[in-house]
Structure 1
């Protein structure tokens, strides 16, 4: 049967269901997260040592999503035209190059480029290695469409009934990366090589990810929906065939205006923005909070993120598969957002017990909400424009990340732990808005 499908050149069908293993794309997702999370515990220390402060740490973190905002829609669209595997490989090579540049920044002399002392932004110095570090994060962001393309790949090879559980597996692979990465960073950071060791680790991990894509990831989308001028140019340059999908109706890749006219998509993109906004206020504010209020070291920070990710894996591997059979995506999104908002409120006092109690609420909330949200988004998007809409979703997430990461640094500089209250209020707003998703789900069924 599989051979027959491969032989249908005039009407190729995407590989779905049981005939494609999810293991390669899950492994690539794990590798990508591992490469990022390995520097997460010490990045705030590194920025401070190179002349930055809380605002600059937020700004450095925001460089990736700022440039992902530009790159993700383009890469998502290209994946619809040229195939998922080729664009995943391009993205992974960009990540590898960015880590090599990041490593080079650590060996540059700490030369001051300019200083600022502001009542709002605080006092900081932009140094040469800090500027190169900014460039490395920007390059990684520009080629950082791997998440949206991986999500589109997963949607290509998954039936609608399995989508929630398979997006849960995708989240598990990410969280495994977040377990191993910080733990590995803690071990490597105490070696004689210091900060260099974790970055070298990220480079090795990126090389492994590149090889995995080349050798093991199958192409899930082998044709373009129309004879597009871009496809013709690439066909001439690289001399490979881009087959056109034959359909009974006229189809093509939508531009931004068409995406916004797609039923329910604007509302879900707005929710995507708000969810990522809350996340990223947390991801900037918490490391600063851990240093100034909890007096944590790199090793303790690594332990916290490892525990958090471990709990997420437990939720997504044991609880999510069971409850997804009984409850709809919308119901899990509503419940999860309530739990996630509560997590942020528990962080405000700066109490060690409450901080670790919050990890349980975070894991339950994020572990149920996010895979269910991605599942519903993929169903609303439909099969034809999966890559394009996932790319636009990543852009909305990137815009939220820019805002949240910079805002998180500024808020913590001015309000300390109260910044978590703002993150919590954002997620509680999402909780209220999520009730409308039940209406979207009913429309998909009928």
Structure 2
């Protein structure tokens, strides 16, 4: 699968892991209180879902372009653009705290519920939209990792990327709980997110080398049709879509479920996501490292997806014990499945199309996030805790589809 003369050079993985950690730490600082902030500015569960959908909606536009640009112009330049965009988005986000909560529109709808549109609420929409438009960092980071990693090590290194993500979600929510206790409330965590993003820009400029040894000199237009015509890529994109659809039904429904059924506070929410992330680090570290030596990417995806689907069933009970038991299964299932899928799609993409494929994969995940975040709000309003069953069914479909990936691996070995 490697192009002649384009073997990955040994580049340190640490700067990339640090950038990934910085990005998730920033969002982890805001995640625990975002639903409360939306309600304070006049929104409801549906509005919270729409605000959450702004990032993936605009990422749907930006990620394929940024991914392909990274194939042509180099990963480092595009990572700088995406990180600078994140920094600017947090600055815009902070403006909401200094804007009067003036009502623009009052809504009383049998479908959307009762809420008001205020100026600070619109600012949150703009901030999340801008971050999404420049939010190709995940696609470009995945392409960067594929550049510098031999195929036999990709599963473990994608596991390390996931660990850096989860470390951000361990420290972020816990730190948010502490910082929000000051007299400035949620403003300090958002300011911290902006400063952390600035640190990410500095890391890219000072410490991240260019990863590509063979940047494409002449840009060839790589559209959606070109990508899906690559062997087996279209099937993997469908799996991407379904996974993120299930995830985002959960991510929208769970905070609402935690407030209404579990009676959790911001601190309780922060503790739960921190515990979940700690378990993810354990799974994607020593457990994944050992499992990847024994099982192929496809087999780990199969095992992980059935475990992941089962975790959502336990959430339906609304019981504290089963809620934390679900977290254990979530960590184990996702920790085995996700790095394995990332590893396999990077192998199928090949070196020349790595950025383009990763960009369109991000678009599929973004499309699923839009549907899942908005649908999740509606779904929870109607089904309450039973909405987790829908998430479980979606992931069980992924489990069934994953068996075909065994043949993909066989084809790769034969090439």
Band of TM-score, shorter chain: over 0.9
Instruction: Work out which of the residue numbers 298, 305, 323 in structure 2 matches 1:355.
Output: 323
- C-alpha deviation, 1:397, in angstroms: 0.3
- C-alpha deviation, 1:226, in angstroms: 4.0
- C-alpha deviation, 1:117, in angstroms: 1.2
* Cα distance per residue 1:234-284 (max 9 Å; x no partner): xxxxxxxxxxxxxxxxxx453211111111000000000000000011111
- C-alpha deviation, 1:222, in angstroms: 5.2
Q: If you compute each CA radius of gyration, which structure gives the higher value, 1 or 2? A: 1
Q: Distance in 2 between matches of 1:151 and 1:198?
A: 28
Q: Distance in 1 between matches of 2:28 and 2:277?
A: 11
Is 1:119 matched up with 2:115?
no
Is 1:309 matched up with 2:277?
yes
> Where does structure 2 lack aligned partners over 5 or more consecutive residues?
none
User: How many residues are treated as equivalent by the alignment?
Assistant: 411
Q: Distance in 1 between matches of 2:214 and 2:156?
A: 27
Q: Distance in 2 between matches of 1:49 and 1:110?
A: 9
Contact 1:39/1:182 (CA < 8 Å) preserved in 2? yes
Is 1:344 matched up with 2:335?
no
Q: Distance in 1 between matches of 2:127 and 2:261?
A: 30
Contact 2:8/2:150 (CA < 8 Å) preserved in 1? no
Instruction: Work out which of the residue numbers 245, 265, 273 in structure 2 matches 1:277.
Output: 245
Residue aligning to 1:169: 160
Residue aligning to 2:258: 290
Which stretch has the larger CA shift, 252-261 or 196-205?
A: 252-261
- 1:399-438 aligned within 5 A: 399-438=367-406
Q: Distance in 2 between matches of 1:302 and 1:192?
A: 19
Q: Distance in 1 between matches of 2:355 and 2:173?
A: 30
TM-score, L = length of structure 2: 0.97
Q: Distance in 2 between matches of 1:94 and 1:255?
A: 24
Q: Secondary structure at the match of 1:125?
A: strand
> Where does structure 1 lack aligned partners over 5 or more consecutive residues?
1-10, 229-251
- C-alpha deviation, 1:195, in angstroms: 1.0
* Cα distance per residue 1:316-364 (max 9 Å; x no partner): 1110000100101000000000010001111011100000000110000
Is 1:390 matched up with 2:358?
yes
Instruction: Work out which of the residue numbers 68, 72, 79 in structure 1 matches 2:70.
Output: 79
Q: Secondary structure at the match of 1:38?
A: helix
Q: Distance in 2 between matches of 1:222 and 1:126?
A: 50
User: Over aligned residues, Cα RMSD in angstroms?
Assistant: 1.1
Q: Secondary structure at the match of 1:113?
A: strand
Distance 1:365 1:304, change over 3 A: same
Contact 2:75/2:144 (CA < 8 Å) preserved in 1? yes
Is 1:36 matched up with 2:27?
yes
Residue aligning to 1:201: 192
Instruction: Work out which of the residue numbers 23, 46, 49 in structure 2 matches 1:55.
Output: 46
Q: Distance in 2 between matches of 1:138 and 1:273?
A: 20
Residue aligning to 1:148: 139
Residue aligning to 1:323: 291
Is 1:96 matched up with 2:87?
yes
Contact 2:8/2:213 (CA < 8 Å) preserved in 1? no
Distance 1:193 1:14, change over 3 A: farther
- C-alpha deviation, 1:14, in angstroms: 5.6
- C-alpha deviation, 1:12, in angstroms: 7.1
- Runs of 4 or more consecutive aligned structure 1 residues displaced over 3 Å after TM superposition: 11-15
Residue aligning to 1:23: 14
* Cα distance per residue 1:94-133 (max 9 Å; x no partner): 0000000000111100011111111222111111100011
